[in-house]
Amino acid sequence: MSTNPRVHTRRRASSVSQALSAIPLNNAPAYESRVPVTATQNAPAEQTDSNPSLQLNGSADSFTAAEVVADEARAAQLRRRRPGNDEKPVTEAVAALPGDKKLPVKRNIDPFDDARYKSDGLWQDLRTGKWMLIPSSSLPILVLPILLYINHEYILTNPNIPLPDVFRQIVPVTTRNPWTPLLFLSGFDGRDEAGTSFYKRSWLDLLFIAYHIVFFSFVRQSITLYILRPLVKRLGIPPAKFERFTEQGYAFLYFGFFGPLGMYVMHGLPIWWYNTSAFWTTFPVLRMTGLLKAYYLLQGSYWCQQAIILAAGVEKPRKDFKELIAHHIITLWLIGWSYMLTLTYIGVAVYVTMDVSDIFLALAKCVNYVSEDASAPFFAFFVVVWTYMRHYLNLKILYSVWTEFDLVPEWARTTTFEPWKETGLLAWWLQPVIFASIFFLQLINLFWYFLILRILFRALFSKSLSDERSDEDE
């Protein structure tokens, strides 16, 4: 048996090289060294340990074993940086060799593959609230009241269907359908000569809002998972931006529908394009058209659902998380009080200022996630719309609250607080309350306006349109 140190050195280098070459990384074929190392077990003893250099293929070049190992590691890194077509879009740090500095492991994984979006079964999803994230779990909640309504309307109370007399005594034909308030507007108050339906406020409106919270949860997650998620992958957006793009994509679709709808509703009212004196001269709005009431309650459902989403931590927190919480609280406060006090006209006016500007905010952010270079004109137009809608028009509403409140008819005023009545709805002390609510909303808008202007400044001088409201790790 040979004790030649050079032979042992050759054997160790060859073993390491062959081991590295035999390991396929990222589904790539086994790497063949650009400088093949040859060694034989029966090589003659020639040198001592003082000279561990290797003679490769009879070449004049001489490499140490450490250099060969380092060469193999660099080649492995290159293979990992250039994955094949059949590889998954996942990047991993190269496993460090002994003595090397370890590289961090980073995985770019679709966030919607997270366990949060996997059903644990309908009953478990209902118990944990996970149904808000899983359309297949929220759909049964939506369908069940519809089936019960149909069963009651067309079977249980249908006189043409023979049922036992005992059952007819329990559920007479004239029994009102208990599932109607969930699906349809309550408080019907007749029609005018043109056939337009009118409605009043009703406590049953709370059931309509509750049902449509589930409706918006289903719509949001269905659009997110089955429309926006495939779109994100097709556009090549990095996985780190998946959730942000889908959030803004859904916002664009929602406000793109309710913004124009709000303008259409407003066009049929005496307050059309911010005729602010009509906020007060037409007070109280005791009878609403079906369209106005549906618009108002659906908006309330949406904002309740958004507040639940925010509280449950479904959306990734932004830097302005506290301001966003405050915005949602003030928005829900304004919706509730304006509806209860029949100030729905001023509520519609505020809705429109928010929704129309949010269309272009969401659009600009979506374009920015796809291509920062292409987002500049969208962002510029958004800034103009935001300035006009969220500041000029909101300040006009604030000015009206402060200066035109006295236009409220005398018979509609009161010194007590009894909003459930139809006369004496508005007490004098409600003026500063209404003003303060809209003013605080304006302060939050001014905070965001500062961030918007800072982005605009950076875009003009550093060509960057990064989102100031995004989370830290983006």
Is 165 a member of any domain?
Answer: no
Q: Are residues 237 and 324 in the same domain?
A: yes
Q: Are residues 194 and 307 in the same domain?
A: yes
pLDDT-above-70 percentage for the chain: 72
315-357 tens-digit pLDDT: 667 777 888 888 999 999 999 999 999 999 999 999 999 999 9
**Res. 279: pLDDT tops 80:** yes
Is 75 a member of any domain?
Answer: yes
**Res. 226: pLDDT tops 80:** yes
Whole-angstrom distance, CA of residue 40 vs CA of residue 454:
69
Phi and psi dihedrals of 197, rounded to 5? -80, 140
**Res. 49: pLDDT tops 50:** no
400-415 tens-digit pLDDT: 999 999 999 988 888 7
Is 152 a member of any domain?
Answer: no
Number of domains in the chain: 2
Q: CB under 8 Å to 234, separation ≥6 — which residues?
A: none
**Res. 296: pLDDT tops 60:** yes
3 by Cβ neighbours in 10 Å (0-12 / 13-18 / 19+) ranks as exposed
Among residues 58, 80, 107, which one ends one of the domains? 107
Q: Kindly report the pTM of this predicted structure.
A: 0.74
Q: Are residues 268 and 374 in the same domain?
A: yes
Lookup: tokens for 247: 């959030």
SS (H, E, C) the chain: CCCCHHHHHHHHHHHHHHHHHCCCCCCCCCCCCCCCCCCCCCCCCCCCCCCCCEECCCCCCEECHHHHHHHHHHHHHHHHHCCCCCCCCCCCCCCCCCCCCCCCCCCCCCHHHCHHHCCCCHHHHHHHCHHHCCHHHHHHHHHHHHHHHHHHHHHHCCCCCCCCHHHHHHCCCCCCCCCHHHHCCCCEEEECCCCCEEECCCCCHHHHHHHHHHHHHHHHHHHHHHHHHHHHHHHCCCHHHHHHHHHHHHHHHHHHHHHHHHHHHHHCCCCCCCCCCHHHHCCCCCCEEHHHHHHHHHHHHHHHHHHHHHHCCCCCCCCCHHHHHHHHHHHHHHHHHHHHCCCHHHHHHHHHHHHHHHHHHHHHHHHHHHCCHHHHHHHHHHHHHHHHHHHHHHHHHHHHHHHCHHHCCHHHEECCCCCCCCCCCEECCHHHHHHHHHHHHHHHHHHHHHHHHHHHHHHHHHCCCCCCCCCCCC
Q: Are residues 307 and 398 in the same domain?
A: yes
Note whether 389 and 357 are within 8 A (CB): yes
Q: Are residues 420 and 273 in the same domain?
A: yes
Lookup: tokens for 114: 């997270």
Cα torsion through 263, 266, 271, 273, rounded to 10: 20
User: 10 vs 339, which has greater pLDDT?
Assistant: 339
Lookup: tokens for 371: 């291509």
78-108 tens-digit pLDDT: 555 544 444 444 333 333 334 444 444 444 5
Among residues 65, 84, 107, which one ends one of the domains? 107
Distance of CA 462 to the CA centre of its chain: 29
Q: Are residues 76 and 190 in the same domain?
A: no
**Res. 136: pLDDT tops 50:** yes
| Cβ count near 219 (within 10 Å) | 19
Per-residue pLDDT, averaged over 223-251, amounts to 90
**Res. 417: pLDDT tops 60:** yes
Pick left, alpha or beta for residue 102 (phi over 0 → left; psi -120 to 50 → alpha; otherwise beta).
Answer: beta
Q: Are residues 208 and 293 in the same domain?
A: yes
Is 162 a member of any domain?
Answer: no
Lookup: tokens for 414: 């009161």
Is 126 a member of any domain?
Answer: no
Note whether 212 and 298 are within 8 A (CB): yes
Q: What is the domain extent for residue 347?
A: 184-462
Q: Are residues 428 and 305 in the same domain?
A: yes
Q: Are residues 304 and 413 in the same domain?
A: yes
Q: What pLDDT shows up at residue 465?
A: 59
**Res. 61: pLDDT tops 60:** no
Among residues 47, 72, 107, which one ends one of the domains? 107
Q: Are residues 202 and 337 in the same domain?
A: yes
Is 118 a member of any domain?
Answer: no
| Among 73, 72, 78, CA closest to 96 | 73
Q: Are residues 216 and 331 in the same domain?
A: yes
Q: Are residues 69 and 212 in the same domain?
A: no
Is 379 a member of any domain?
Answer: yes
Is 139 a member of any domain?
Answer: no
